[in-house]
Structures are given as C-alpha cells and as structure tokens.
Chains A and B, each alone.
Chain A
Amino acid sequence: MEKTANNKAWFMVLPVLVLVAFTAVIPLMTVVNYAFQDSFGNNQFFWVGLEWFQELLASERFHDALVRNLIFSFTILAIEIPLGIGIALCMPKKGWGVPVCLVLMALPLLVPWNVVGTIWQVFGRADIGLLGYFLNSLGINYNYTQDPVAAWATVIVMDVWHWTSLVVLLCYAGLVSIPEAYYQAARIDGASRWAVFRYIQLPKMHSVLLIAVLLRFMDSFMIYTEPFVVTGGGPGNSTTFLSIDLVKMAIGQFDLGPAAAMSLVYFLIILLFSWVFYTVMNNAGTEKKHYAGEE
C-alpha cells in the first residue's frame, strides 16, 4: 500500500510546535545564550566563549555539590527501591484493605513539596518537634541546623517518607497484574517464597521498576524545595545540592553566565545518567526482543 503524502498535515501540529517552542525551546536557548556571555547591569552582554564552562568544571564548589548530590541520589535509591518493593509485597491484593492502603500510600505524594519541607522542619526541631524532642530525650544529640549528619539524615528520611509511596504504587501495579495461575503453578512446582519473588514477581515488576528508578533518580538529582526549606543547604554547605547551588549562583549572586553554564552541564549529567540507567535496566528487555524476533 502506498502512503498518502500530504504535507499540509504538518500545519496540524503547528500549534503544538509553537507551544513547545515557547515553553521549552526558547527558554533553553536563552540559557544557552547566557552560558556563552558575560552580563553586566544595564543589559550589557559580551561574548566569553567557553570560559564559564572551564571555570565551572574546575570549580571545587561545583564538584562538592555534584558529589553530595550523587551520594544523596544513590542513598535514597538504595533505600526507597527495596523498601518500596517490600511494602508493595506486603500490601493486600483484595478486600477492604486495598483502598485503605492505596489512600495511605498516596497521601505523602499529595503534599506540596514546600509543605513537606515545613512539616519536617517543625517535626525535627528539638524544642517543639515530636521527632527532635523524642530523639534528644533519648540522649541522642540531634540538631539538623548544626550537625551535618543530622541534617543529612533528616533530608534523606524526609525524601524516603515523601517518595517511597511512588515506588510502592508502581510496584503494586506490577504485582497485581500477575495472574493467580503463576502463584498456583509455583506452589505445584514446590517453589520457595524467595523463588516466587525472584522468578515471578521481580521479572513482572521489571518495567515498572525501571520507571521508578528513572523517576526517583531524576527527581532526587534535581531536588530543591524540601532541603531548601529544612536546612537551606546547611549547616555550612553540607546539604547544598546542585539545584540549591544553582539558585544561589543565579539569584543570590546574579551570576547569570556561570549559572547558565551550570544549568547546561547539570542537564547533560541528568540526561547521561538516565540513559545509562535505561540501557542497563533494559538489557534483559532487549534480549527478549532479540529472542522473539529470532523465530
């Protein structure tokens, strides 16, 4: 069959293209534009080439923020993914418990990010916060405004509280799609609980886990609001992640050029990591396709 070519059809997608141009392409290009120029007040710009990039990549401040961010992202992934799978496995599959669990799980996801920050900021305070008061009365010296370890613990626990639900809901969706016959066959085959998880549940959760890891990585790598509200990046710079650093640079110091260069590098790093995750986790998937097409 011959395809009908009608170039007029392109006009149909024009509104979308214009919309995307205004919301994404033009702002991005503005950032690219800033990244290669130096600005002075009074709207004066002049070309500096790759200077900001060289400066950024050599800057210790950037390195530290990047390393902090990577540690943060991998820590929360290492906690949230197994925990999310675990909770999803424990959730009931039918009965009145299902809606109850789903609503409970969805609650943290519905709280605005700055409110999450505020909740934990108050929760962790030694004088009026339940958690802070409790820990301190146990004799643990917990003060997230002064102690970097306490600040990190707070930020990580807050993220786990906020986002594990997402992993749970995704995994749960994967689990309930497994037909009952699989579990029955496993019982007949004498499979252990671990074997059921390893050979039935995990493979069926594979694709949703991929989405969960990607989403959680990208989100945590771009985290801003919650730690900004709780610790403001402190104490010192101990919880200053890339985005907090970026805002300090762009708004605080009004260094538009370096901030723009950092934005681009930041963007590329996220892109790179997401690609690596996707490729690695999808490896088994491509193998399957290869087999299916082999016939």
Chain B
Amino acid sequence: MARIDLDHIRHSYLPNPASPSDYALKEVNLTFEDGGAYALLGSSGCGKTTLLNIISGLLTPSEGELLFDGKPVTELSTEARNIAQVFQFPVVYDTMSVYDNLAFPLRNRGVPAAEVDQKVNEILRIIDLESKAKRKAQGLTADEKQKISLGRGLVRSDTNAILFDEPLTVIDPHMKWVLRSQLKHLHKQFGFTMVYVTHDQTEALTFADKVVVMYGGEVVQIGTPDELFRRPQHTFVGYFIGSPGMNVLPCEVDGTVARIGEHTVPLQVGLDPNKSAKKTEVGIRPEFVKLGGAGEGLPLKVNAVEDIGRYRILRGEMDGVALNAIVGEGENIPESPTALFDRAQTNLYADSWLVSEGA
C-alpha cells in the first residue's frame, strides 16, 4: 500500500513528439493518497488507460517521474513495483486450476508452499470460489474469471495498489452490481489504494471517493462525485457527468450578467478583466432549470418530453442551442414554457474552464 505521485508525467506513443497534439497524455500532476479509492473517468481515447499503464509500468512515460511513497519508481519493472492490475477482459491461465491461478504470482516470487496455501485459501474464500478451487479456469463464467484476475492481485500481501482497467465491461449487468459492491467491501477490508478506469459515470461515482475526470490527455477535474456535479471545472465534466449532461449556452458577458441572444441571465461572478477569453459560455444543469410561463424567462422550444419514471426530461432548444430541463412527475409544463436559471447553480465558463469567485 502506497501513495502514488505522478510528477509532470507526459507520454507520447510517437518516437519524436513535437506538438502538444502528439501527446496521448499531456502533462499530468496527480496524487493518489494511500488507501484511497479513485476512479479515472473519461471517454475513449482520453488517455486513462495510458495513465494506468504508466502507473503499473507496462509503459514508460516519455517525460516525468512516478513516485510510490516518495520513492521514484519510473525506471522499475512491472514486477518490481508490486502492482496488481485487472484488465478489461478477464485474464486467466486456462490450463491451470483456479487454485493454481491464484498461487501463480506467489510461486513466481518463491513464496514457501505453506504460506501460498494459506494465502490462496484465504483469497478463495474472499472471492467466493472455494467450491471451484480444483477446477480448470477455462470453463468458468466471465465474472468468475474476472474474480480470479482480481484474486491474483489480492493474493500478494505487499501489493502497492490495485489498478482496474474497465474491469466490468464483459460482465452481465446484474453481476456488475454484485462485483462492484464486493470491490467496495474489499477496499474497506484491506485498504488498498485502488485506481479504477472507466467510461461509465455510474460506475465511477459509486466506486470512488474521488473521481479524476480526463479529457483529451489532460486531467480536467479531481473531486468528489458531489463536486463534479455541482461545480464542473470544465464544460466536458459538466457534459460527461449527469444524465442528461449540463446545458452549455454560448453567451456574452457584461459585468455579472450573461447575454444569450436578446436575453439576460444573472451570474454570481464576472470575467476576470485581466484575462481575455475567446469563448464564453453559461453552464447549468437540467436539474436547476425551472419552467416558467411566457415572459418569465428564456423562451424554450420543446422538442420532446421523456418520462423516465421518477421524473421527466424535457428536451428543448433555445435559439438553436439544446437546452434540457428536468421536470418533476406532478409538475405542469406550460403551453409556451420559458427557462428560469437558478442563479446559485449557474456557472460561467471562459474558454471551457470554470470562472470561479476570486479568480
């Protein structure tokens, strides 16, 4: 168990990267606290797997340093780092029994047989595969195989961290819930540092204490699920987290008032006069858009209303820009509705980054 620091890590898959766009991973400075449960969230190709492979040593970063508990490990081999990694597709050694699969990492490190037996039996109990210990791994179901992959990481007592690379992709939906709660449970029990890569926001938000959102090879925000929801630091976070995502409307800023076409929206903050912004946008979550009658707010053209059970999603537009609102089950949708923004929840973005007070 260890704290993991990424210090100015950059990585390019090209031999001679020149421009920033050549980097799969633009400069990342990040700390995973010892015993924390982190999720790396982002869409495909945002660099999250690259980051994970750099931590586990499967990739050596082009630049920067990786530290475990303050000790540099950038040059260390994967084996020497004592990392466990669970991959998207379950990796089991087909010809070995379940027992031998779990014993494999220990035997490779020359652990005495008695200790191997004790550890493996303990893990078999934890991952609930005791009854299948003697069976070949080949014929097991996907979730059982994935448990073995996980078990091979847990079996080593000196594991620094367990990394998960979209481990539940091939698991049946109902087993996903079971495995995810088992993971949470294991995290509480063992206190491993866990880093979980996913593009599924539900998975990230339920698993992790802290979520690291990545976009285009950069970390755009690190925060608790609540912070990501209320104060997205970047329009991508707003769009990516939440269903539907945050409404982002291009605007012009005048003091602490945003002008969207002919309409105005009051803001909590204004632009920093010392900085020039090419693009300014207003962001508000559909949850904080209230409906009003004609003349009360911004005119809204309703395209569709989706009833998803507990509430309804109103899919609309304003001057050609999508604007969604969440409407309660009992709430009435006026004939020609307008959108009212909750000022406290209205965020201003300059060049896609949140403008916050005092900035």
Q: What is the interface of chain A, defined by CB distance below 8 A to chain B? A: 179, 181-182, 184-185, 187-192, 195, 199-200, 203-204, 284, 287-288, 291-292, 294
Asked whether, in the complex, the Cβ of A291 is within 8 Å of the Cβ of B56, the reply is: no
CB-CB contacts of B84-96 with A at 8 A, as 1s and 0s?
1101110101111
B56 and A195 form a contact (CB under 8 A): no
A291: which B residues are within 8 A, CB to CB?
135-136, 138-139
Does B257 reach chain A (CB closer than 8 Å)? no
Whether A182 lies near B79 (C-beta < 8 A) is no
For chain B, the bracket of interface size reads: 20 to 34
Q: Which of these, A185, A195, A203, contacts B91 with CB under 8 Å?
A: A185
**Residues of B with Cβ closer than 8 Å to A?**
53, 56-58, 77-79, 83-85, 87-89, 91, 93-96, 104-105, 108-109, 135-136, 138-139, 149, 152-153
Q: Known: A181-B88, A181-B91. Contact between A288 and B78, CB under 8 A? A: no
Closest beta carbon of chain B to A148's beta carbon, Å: 42
The listed residue with most B CB atoms (<10 A of its CB), out of A189, A287, A292, is: A189
Cross-chain contact B83 with A188 (CB below 8 angstroms): yes
B95 to chain A, nearest CB (A): 5
Q: Check if B84 sits within 8 Å of A188, measured CB to CB.
A: yes
Nearest 6 interchain pairs by C-beta:
A291-B139, A292-B139, A185-B91, A190-B108, A181-B87, A189-B105
| Cα-based distance from A185 to B145 in the complex (angstroms) | 13
Chain B nearest CB from A49 CB (Å) reads 51
What are the residues of chain A within 8 A of B104 when measuring CB–CB? Answer: 189, 191, 195, 199
Across the interface, which residues of A come within 8 angstroms of B105, CB to CB? Answer: 188-190
Decide: B58 and A184 in contact? CB cutoff 8 A: yes
Q: Which residue of B lies closest to A287 (CB)?
A: B136
Whether A199 and B109, one on each chain, are in contact in the complex, defined by CB atoms closer than 8 angstroms, is: no
- Which residue of B has the minimal Cβ distance to A284? B95
Q: Is the CB of A188 within 8 A of B138?
A: no
User: How far, in angstroms, from A74 to B56 measured CA to CA in the complex?
Assistant: 46
CB contacts (< 8 Å) of A192 on chain B: these are 108
Task: Among B56, B89, B93, B135, point to the contact of A188 (Cβ < 8 A).
Answer: B56
CB distance from B333 to the nearest CB of A (A): 49
Tell whether, in the assembled complex, residue A182 and residue B108 are in contact, meaning their CB atoms are under 8 Å apart: no
A187 contact set on B, CB distance < 8 A: 57-58, 77-79
B139, A288: Cβ atoms closer than 8 Å: yes
- The reply to whether B152 and A189 contact each other, CB–CB distance below 8 Å, is yes
Q: Which of chain A's residues have a CB closer than 8 A to the CB of B53?
A: 184
Contact check, B78 vs A188: say whether CB atoms are below 8 A apart: yes
Q: Which residues of chain B are within 8 angstroms of A191 by Cβ–Cβ distance?
A: 104, 108
Q: A190-B105, A288-B136, A288-B139 are in contact. Are A203 and B83 (CB under 8 A)?
A: no
C-alpha gap A170/B333 in the complex (Å): 67
Q: How far is the CB of B137 from chain A (nearest CB, A)?
A: 9
